[in-house]
């Protein structure tokens, strides 16, 4: 009988080198705690990263891993999964690595529904290269590359993932270990391209950017935790809800109880409803709470499955004659 694995089995002898207070520490510990609970062989785990603060991850996981080049982690991970579909392949990336130079690779790995767990650390800044604004930075962000404030409109990672065809999309928070662990576990259990955005604090270059959903004094009023089959209720007193305006087909926040709206009229979360997921993915403060949890999931065949089936089909065909093939078509015999 194999001895049960523990957190220590997934920790390496490498010094963890992130800035004090970085959210990456919390994410690392959550993943190290989760893996023993999955019951999968340690030798089946592979972590693939690109370039950035988050991409140090493979050094700190006592598993197989690749620290690849900027933005190309999805391509390398695809190759690993195709070569051995039995492996559990994880992609660890950041908002810059994953959606700037790596945006095209991210799009296609999701479109193809490659069976990977993609953990995207989103701190809305380039941390490793000293604080330039990233594709997810809010408009107006002042940085070394935008001293007068960024004029770019930020992209929303979960919205992009949904549009690209991801079959599992979730969002969580670095320091919410229980919630994050649940989202990552569900991404692991999903068959197909699983995308998890993790709101992660950068204490040096973008400190407190997600404080509204992390500070326990105000978080309940600024985030809604999604549960399949449950109405969208939030607030410190559970006195706020989200419903769909039937005339404008837009979401709206309403007060519950008294002369306010009734819970029965609120939207009920449905993880299989892609249109609802797209609406929830784009909610931002201060008008709306940030949606956290599993936004969307569906089951459909993916590239790896189809590729394996195609190979089996080809191999099962009747053996051909190589000599006949070489002499077919326009060939001549010279005496």
pLDDT digits (tens, 9 = 90+) for 269-317: 999 999 999 999 999 989 999 999 999 999 999 898 888 888 888 877 7
pTM of the predicted model, to two decimals? 0.92
**How confident is the model at residue 2, as a pLDDT?**
55
How many other C-beta atoms are found inside a 10 Å radius of the C-beta of residue 39?
Answer: 9
Residue 66: strand pairing partners: 48
**How confident is the model at residue 1, as a pLDDT?**
41
**How confident is the model at residue 109, as a pLDDT?**
97
Distances, alpha carbon 160 to alpha carbons 84, 115, 122, 325, in Å = 28, 18, 13, 47
**How confident is the model at residue 311, as a pLDDT?**
84
Residue-wise pLDDT for 36-84, tens only, equals 999 999 999 999 999 999 999 999 999 999 999 999 999 999 999 999 9
Give the C-alpha separation, 54 to 18, whole Å: 9
Give the C-alpha separation, 211 to 44, whole Å: 36
Give the C-alpha separation, 26 to 33, whole Å: 11
**How confident is the model at residue 27, as a pLDDT?**
98
Give the C-alpha separation, 246 to 265, whole Å: 11
Q: Where are the domains of the chain?
A: 7-230+269-307, 232-268
204 within 8 A of 127, measured Cβ to Cβ: yes
**How confident is the model at residue 196, as a pLDDT?**
98
Domain 7-230+269-307, second-level architecture: 3-Layer(aba) Sandwich (3.40)
Residue in the block written with tokens 């929303």: 156
Give me the long-range contacts of 304-308 (CB less than 8 A, separation at least 24). Answer: 304/81, 304/82, 304/85, 304/114, 304/115, 305/115, 307/82, 308/85
| CA-wise closest residue to 102 among 110, 282, 330 | 110
Q: Which residues of the chain have pLDDT under 50?
A: 1
Give the C-alpha separation, 240 to 275, whole Å: 22
SS3 at position 311? helix
């Amino acid at each position: 009988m194999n001895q049960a694995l523990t957190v220590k089995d997934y920790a390496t002898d490498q010094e963890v080198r992130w800035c004090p207070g970085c959210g990456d520490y919390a994410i690392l510990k959550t993943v190290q705690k989760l893996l023993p609970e999955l019951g999968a062989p340690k030798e089946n785990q592979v972590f693939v990263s690109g370039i950035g603060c988050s991409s140090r991850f493979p050094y700190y996981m006592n598993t197989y891993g690749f620290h690849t080049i900027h933005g190309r982690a999805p391509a390398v991970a695809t190759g690993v999964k195709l070569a051995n579909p039995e492996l559990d392949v994880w992609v660890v990336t950041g908002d810059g690595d994953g959606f700037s130079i790596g945006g095209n690779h991210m799009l296609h790995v999701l479109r193809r529904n490659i069976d990977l767990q993609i953990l995207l650390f989103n701190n809305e800044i380039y941390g490793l290269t000293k604080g330039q604004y990233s594709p997810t930075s809010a408009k107006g962000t002042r940085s070394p590359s935008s001293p007068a404030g960024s004029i770019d409109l930020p992209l929303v990672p979960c919205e992009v993932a949904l549009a690209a065809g991801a079959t599992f999309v979730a969002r969580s928070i670095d320091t919410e270990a229980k919630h994050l662990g649940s989202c990552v576990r569900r991404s692991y259990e999903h068959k197909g391209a699983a995308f998890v955005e993790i709101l992660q604090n950068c204490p040096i270059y973008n400190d407190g950017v997600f404080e509204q959903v992390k500070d326990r004094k105000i978080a309940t009023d600024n985030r809604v935790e999604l549960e399949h089959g449950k109405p969208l209720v939030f607030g410190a007193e559970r006195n706020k809800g989200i419903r769909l305006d039937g005339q404008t087909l837009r979401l709206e926040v309403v007060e519950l109880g008294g002369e306010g709206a009734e819970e029965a009229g609120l939207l009920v979360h449905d993880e299989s409803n892609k249109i609802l997921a797209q609406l929830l993915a784009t909610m931002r403060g201060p008008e709306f709470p940030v949606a956290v949890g599993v936004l969307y999931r569906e089951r459909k065949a993916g590239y790896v499955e189809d590729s394996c089936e195609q190979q089996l089909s080809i191999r099962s065909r009747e053996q051909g004659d190589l000599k006949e093939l070489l002499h077919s078509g326009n060939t001549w015999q010279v005496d």
